[in-house]
Amino acid sequence: MVKEFTHLNFEEYITVKHGYMMCPEPHEKYRIMTDLHRRARNVINFAWNIEKKSEAEFSEGYFRAALCEFFAIEDYLETSYPERYKGVWFNEHRDSDPILHMLHLLRNYNIHISSSEMSTKQMLVTTEFLQPAKKHFNITVNYVSNLTIDGFSKVRAARCYTQSLERMITVFEEQQHTFGLGVLLIECVLQNLLKLDSLLDAPDFRPL
């Protein structure tokens, strides 16, 4: 019997507040965890390249790569660090963020079922640091265009979200349309890294 997940919090989740003119980097403090820092950088760069490719098939490929590398970070923590690190990056039974759960479903969908379809749209954005004459300009962003309950029906894990999947799709749609799919993925990495701060500050922390 499949147990429904009822712990998702639709009031607090990762949100996109701004875009980026240049590809961001993880904070320097995470360099002490060398391999994890490299993996986080990989996800960010894969996500950044989603928006840089004009052909949908390449954007879809970078999306798959970003999803795989994102969740590989949890696998790496489980196998390379002490037991208390297990589930810190993502644990479907403890994490309440519906955006992360959607990414997990999308990872399973893209690896085992089919490919997420990419579409593009134009957005008018505003910068805060350029000259006034250059303050407003258009950008092209990608978004996943085939997010449907029926599409996820073939994903085994989706059976845990029968009561919440529609809301999960809604909040994911809102965030990916704020500044594009790539920026949403980047925010997921940067904000998820904050979970490691308490471990970095532990007196018995030993970097690998």
What pTM was estimated for this model as a whole? 0.93
Rounded to whole angstroms, the Cα distance separating 23 from 183 reads: 10
- d(CA 15, CA 104) in angstroms, rounded, equals 17
How far apart are alpha carbons 161 and 157 in whole angstroms?
Answer: 8
Task: Compute CA distances 203 → 110, 199, 200, whole Å.
Answer: 40, 9, 8
Residue 191 and residue 33 in contact, taking contact as beta carbons nearer than 8 Å: no
CA dihedral 99→103→109→111, nearest 10 degrees, is 180
pLDDT of res. 203: 74
Per-residue pLDDT at 205 exceeds 80:
no
Query: What pLDDT does 86 receive?
Result: 86
pLDDT over 90 at 65, yes or no: yes
CA distance 156 to 198: 33
Q: What is the mean pLDDT of residues 35-57?
A: 90
* Structure confidence at residue 85 (pLDDT): 81
Lowest mean pLDDT among 46-50, 51-55, 169-173: 51-55
**23 has pLDDT over 80:** yes
Give dist(CA 52, CA 182) in Å, integer. Answer: 10
pLDDT average, residue stretch 136-161? 91
Tokens representing 169 are: 């799709």
The per-residue pLDDT for range 70-120, each reduced to its tens digit, is 999 999 999 888 888 889 999 999 999 999 999 999 999 999 999 999 999
**Where does residue 173 rank: exposed (0-12), middle (13-18), buried (19+ CB within 10 A)?**
middle
